[in-house]
Amino acid sequence: MTTAAQLLAALRTHPDGVAGTDLCQQLHVTRAAVWSHIESLREAGFEIIASPHRGYQLVSAPDALLAVDLQSRLIQDQVIGSTVRVLQNTTSTNDEASRAALEGHPEGLVIFAESQSAGRGRMGRRWSSPTRRGLWFSALLRPSLTPGECTQLTAASAIALVRAIQSTTGITPEIKWPNDLLIKGKKIAGILTEMSAELEHVRSVVLGIGIDVNQTASEFPDDLRGIATSLKLATGKNISRPDLAEAVLRSLDHEYARILAGNFAAVAEEWASHCSTLGKQATIDMGTRRVRGRAEALDENGALLLRTEHGRIERIIGGEVTLTK
């Protein structure tokens, strides 16, 4: 965590104010350095007042995604979010995180973008990413899992998003297998997991997430207006993107720890309680192959178990699902 992020964290810990001398001792910097960081934060949009009796006090923060702000909100030993970057524009945050993986960056890096020119979902579909209207980000992970176990990460991420959205807005989305979150049948978020592996060794996993936060109906492309929604449309009010980003990163880190600790069974049970796919008749298209049956459960690695029309259980890792009833 940078010194500026540590300073912000200290201001948040002491909402009634903290003395400059205490900040110097806590951050191991001079008073001049504290003042310099305070001025930089003010220029970034943070309202910080100073008084002889209360010291420095954080009054308000800008409603923008800033790396220093996001990192100041997270606990120091958190893995996901140990490093945060915020880009104003990029093609795709998954592309950025994949490059970072090839360069040897350690896990925990999270890259946000305020807009994407080539955001994508599963099967190469374009993801609409209007500027400063949603959360578009990717996390670089290097899990101690086999390639077959990495399917667990998608389910864990879905639960993390459900919890974060619920705690921030009061609305509980439902999960549609394999990687979508819905509110009243309309898509609110999607997850794209891309893995680099060899045999039984996972080199890296890039976890891409898109959440539609403050779009109005007119800001969705024509082909998405009937099937997508935003948290603003669902709640009738603007949602703080920094607050939601904080909740998402904290929740993702918690679920990631559960996976690495071998607790996927508990994750799968919670996932099932929020999933709208289980117990339904489904048609799943997997390229040139189509399977029909009843969605039963997740297996121990996160794949969908489908009981076919002929009574067989098929293990499905991915595909395009259509619910028939």
**What pLDDT, in 10s, does the model give residues 193-225?**
999 998 889 999 999 999 999 999 888 888 778
Instruction: Spell out where 199-288 has E strands.
Output: 201-212, 281-286
Contact 292, 283 (CB under 8 A): yes
pTM exceeds 0.95: no
**pLDDT-based confidence at 118, cuts 50/70/90?**
confident
pLDDT confidence of residue 77: 87
> Distance between CA 252 and CA 157 in Å, rounded?
6
**What pLDDT, in 10s, does the model give residues 262-288?**
999 999 999 999 999 998 998 998 888
pLDDT confidence of residue 124: 57
Residue 258 has pLDDT above 80, yes or no: yes
**Residue 271 C-alpha from the chain's centroid:** 16
Question: String of b and e for 241-253 (b: at least 16 CB within 10 Å)?
Answer: bbbbbbbbbbbbb
Residue 123 has pLDDT above 60, yes or no: no
SS3 106: coil
Contact 128, 104 (CB under 8 A): no
Parallel/antiparallel/unpaired status of strands 313-316 and 320-323: unpaired
Domain with CATH 3.30.930.10 in the chain: 67-274
Q: Please report, to the nearest 10 degrees, the dihedral formed by the alpha carbons of residues 91, 94, 98, 99 taken in order.
A: 30
Candidates 1.10.3720.10, 1.10.10.10, 3.40.50.10420, 3.90.1300.10; correct CATH number of 3-60? 1.10.10.10
Average pLDDT over all residues of the chain? 92
pLDDT confidence of residue 125: 65
> Distance between CA 314 and CA 325 in Å, rounded?
19
Instruction: Spell out where the chain has E strands.
Output: 47-51, 55-60, 83-87, 109-113, 134-141, 174-176, 180-183, 186-198, 201-212, 281-286, 289-298, 304-308, 313-316, 320-323
- 81 vs 120: which has the higher pLDDT: 81
Tokens found for residue 99: 């490059």
> Distance between CA 16 and CA 54 in Å, rounded?
7
**pLDDT-based confidence at 121, cuts 50/70/90?**
low
If you average pLDDT over residues 4-31, what whole number do you get? 93
Region of poorest pLDDT, from 48-52, 165-169, 251-255: 48-52
Q: Which CATH number is 281-323 given? A: 2.30.30.100
If you average pLDDT over residues 114-143, what whole number do you get? 81
If you average pLDDT over residues 52-66, what whole number do you get? 92
Region of poorest pLDDT, from 64-68, 115-119, 194-198, 209-213: 115-119
If you average pLDDT over residues 251-265, what whole number do you get? 96
pLDDT confidence of residue 136: 95
**pLDDT-based confidence at 186, cuts 50/70/90?**
very high
Strand partners, 195: 205
Residue 319 has pLDDT above 80, yes or no: yes
pLDDT confidence of residue 287: 80
Tokens found for residue 251: 């929740």
Write down the architecture of domain 67-274 according to CATH. Answer: 2-Layer Sandwich (3.30)
If you average pLDDT over residues 39-62, what whole number do you get? 93
Contacts of 105 (CB under 8 A, 6+ apart): 83, 140
Percent with pLDDT over 70 in the chain? 97
Region of poorest pLDDT, from 233-242, 260-269, 298-307: 298-307
Domain with CATH 1.10.10.10 in the chain: 3-60
